[in-house]
Structure 1
Amino acid sequence: MNKCFKLILLLMLFSHIITAQQRPQYTQYVFNNYLLNPAVGGIENYTDVKAGFRKQWTGLDGAPTTSYLTVNMPLGSNFINGDATAIPAGGGENPMSRSYVQNYMAAEPHHGVGLMVVNDKAGPLTQTNIDATYAYHLGLAPRLNLAVGVSAGIAHMGLNTSMITLENPLDPAIANANTSQWYPDLGAGVWLYSPTYYVGASVQQLLKQTLYFSANNAYNQSQTVPHYFLTAGIKLFVSDDITFMPSIMFKVIKPVPNTFDITGKFAFRERFWLGGAYRRNDSVAGLIGFNISSFLSFGYSYDFTTSNLNTVSNGTHEFILGILLNNRYKVSCPMRSF
């Protein structure tokens, strides 16, 4: 009975990956929107490096595990060397303060380039995406920017047949299995941002690909599908030292039902933040982050599973480490993203 139960859970996970959401989900997407939208690349006046690790549904064998590394940076001397909102070297004004918002001016037109590597493993399946990104940031108004971006690269899907035990070892669905498949990857996005709000829209996996694990075409029914994201956030001032930032993300991934994430976080000056999140029909989460210095930041979240998997899941852990390179103004938190 125990083996049967585990088999049912593994099949649930397998079907979730193949027929539903095929890209990883993130609780701390607000800490790295670049993961979902290439238009965010180069938004800050430094090289932004982030490494993340997510262990989903701990305690459940074969549950998804995600790790990633992202790097993006701006290009354009007018922005890097003459940013209209540049603050004095050594830090100066708190980017989360009211006065910073009052003095904010749109960024100079500039480019953003970057690279992201994401590895996601669930059960016998492993997916790796390697994408280069390009973005262009344009001032629409004295306090408003629009960025458009694209991502392009390659993806790899691997099947570990040693993790699959079947009654018939020659099951035609995976007989002579093709356990490694490479295919092109393409995405795009737009990002509208001001000192007090942002709105973004993006799509991943624009190019549909057939995933094949058998030499028999009758079993090659799985396909990658586009993932659409709509995000928005606003900055509200509780006091001169405390800022509340609610945000929402809608996800459209056919053929599964549309879903959304709601996140709210309190930032205490530019030093640390606390927050909570809700994911429809899936989880609630607590979040905490520290801007340790002008070089290093750290974020952690814990998801409490609210779906039927809560009987076998011990929750989800997610860690993010941020490094700020070429940080000319020694800021300890983002100036244009929040």
Structure 2
Amino acid sequence: MKNISILFIGIILISAPITKLMAQINPLKSQFFENSFLFNSAKAGSDSTSIFSANFNSQWNKLPGSPQIYTVTVNTPINKRMGLGLLLFNDKAGLLSRTSVIGSYSYLVPFTNDISIRFGISAGYLSEDLIYDESITPNKTIDPSLLTFGDSHQDILRAGFGTTFTFKSFEIQASLYNLNRNLRKTNGLKSVDRAGITLLANYVIENKENFTFNILGGYRQINGLSDYFDAGLKIAFNKSIDFSVLYHTNRSTTLGFGYDYRRNFKIHCLYNNEPSEIRGLTGGTFEVALYVPFKL
């Protein structure tokens, strides 16, 4: 029993950095074309109207205790230059649950009618918890060693910075997160949750047949691992129906479909297959998001 307890605790402690690592390796796919506010605070209030979004992401469905991620974002313009945003985030993997609340502020600096740069800052906290109810054994007991989890896992203050450069239909985004800590140790284990950089560049082409083409390239720095690159294309018709495809250098592909109902709300669905090394073992990743514009 003692050996089983030690093994079980080891799995839980290791799962914390793994969950954080997977959030960087396998981020929410909505951040590429639909909701870049998920990674870039400079996008807070960058649209002409306020936007509410809710997102559900389910990974590795073939495995027990597979990760599930829930996010809610609200961002709104204050005036022509300033914007505010709020991101609520919860992910669950096995017995580990992580909750984050992050607020963002952005400011637009226009140079000409076609050229501008927008800066954003974000701050919030991350809380890590064990779901004790799901660790109770059939005889209604709980391993006492689990109760020490909270002694070494505390709420963490987080800060980030983002920027967006726009020139006509061309846009470059850059985001730097976890500014306040480069390396954290958890129970003597090094957590892969250090500052990283995400870059996205996209170019939008519109034609007279009401087709819109969005060409995207991305770069993600993950400290301690190989860097990742992303390339994608989104095709929209009459700004109501769109299809997208993304290729990632972990040898996986993301397919997306979106439907905008009369500008009242939009539903977007995405599926990402597994990297080639584990293809067929995990069931891939499914994601669905709802976007609702509103006026304050």
Q: Which TM bucket (shorter chain)? A: 0.7 to 0.9
Cα separation, partners in 2 of 1:19 and 1:132, compared to 1, 3 Å: closer
- Specify the alignment match of 2:149 in structure 1: 177
- Specify the alignment match of 2:176 in structure 1: 203
Native 8 Å contact 1:57 1:64 kept in 2: yes
Larger strand percent = 2
Given the alignment of the two structures, is residue 258 of structure 1 paired with residue 227 of structure 2, yes or no? yes
- Specify the alignment match of 2:5 in structure 1: none
Cα separation, partners in 2 of 1:19 and 1:45, compared to 1, 3 Å: closer
Native 8 Å contact 2:244 2:257 kept in 1: yes
- Specify the alignment match of 1:269 in structure 2: 238
- Specify the alignment match of 1:28 in structure 2: 30
Native 8 Å contact 2:19 2:93 kept in 1: no
Cα separation, partners in 2 of 1:163 and 1:224, compared to 1, 3 Å: farther
Trace 1:98-177 onto structure 2 (pairs within 5 A). Answer: 110-160=81-131, 163=135, 176-177=148-149
Output the CA distance in 2 between the equivalents of 1:177 and 1:156.
Answer: 12
Code of the aligned partner of 2:249? R
CA drift at 1:302: 1.1
- Specify the alignment match of 1:66 in structure 2: 69
Task: Look up the SS of the partner of 1:39 in the other structure.
Answer: helix
Cα separation, partners in 2 of 1:141 and 1:221, compared to 1, 3 Å: same
Aligned pair count?
Answer: 277
Given the alignment of the two structures, is residue 48 of structure 1 paired with residue 21 of structure 2, yes or no? no
Cα separation, partners in 2 of 1:223 and 1:170, compared to 1, 3 Å: farther
What is the TM-score when the length of structure 1 is the normalising length?
A: 0.74
CA drift at 1:222: 2.9
Pick from 272, 293, 311 the counterpart of residue 262 of structure 2: 293
Which structure: larger Rg?
1
Gaps of 5+ in 2: 1-7, 138-142
Output the CA distance in 2 between the equivalents of 1:51 and 1:18.
Answer: 21
CA drift at 1:19: 7.5
- Specify the alignment match of 1:38 in structure 2: 41
Provide the identity percentage.
23
Cα separation, partners in 2 of 1:221 and 1:302, compared to 1, 3 Å: closer
Code of the aligned partner of 1:314? G
Task: Look up the SS of the partner of 1:178 in the other structure.
Answer: helix
Gaps of 5+ in 1: 1-6, 80-109, 328-338
What is the TM-score when the length of structure 2 is the normalising length?
A: 0.84
Native 8 Å contact 2:259 2:268 kept in 1: yes
Native 8 Å contact 1:22 1:224 kept in 2: no
Native 8 Å contact 1:20 1:255 kept in 2: no
Cα separation, partners in 2 of 1:223 and 1:318, compared to 1, 3 Å: closer
Output the CA distance in 1 between the equivalents of 2:234 and 2:216.
Answer: 9
- Specify the alignment match of 2:4 in structure 1: none
Given the alignment of the two structures, is residue 303 of structure 1 paired with residue 272 of structure 2, yes or no? yes
Native 8 Å contact 1:19 1:255 kept in 2: no
Output the CA distance in 2 between the equivalents of 1:269 and 1:195.
Answer: 20
Given the alignment of the two structures, is residue 315 of structure 1 paired with residue 273 of structure 2, yes or no? no
Task: Look up the SS of the partner of 2:72 in the other structure.
Answer: strand
Code of the aligned partner of 2:170? Y
CA drift at 1:123: 2.6
Output the CA distance in 2 between the equivalents of 1:200 and 1:16.
Answer: 27
Native 8 Å contact 1:188 1:202 kept in 2: yes
Deviations 1:279-324, CA, capped at 9 Å, x for gaps: 2225212111111122211100111223333232222110110010
Moved over 6 A (4+): none
Task: Look up the SS of the partner of 2:279 in the other structure.
Answer: helix
Output the CA distance in 2 between the equivalents of 1:239 and 1:309.
Answer: 43
Pick from 191, 198, 223 the counterpart of residue 164 of structure 2: 191
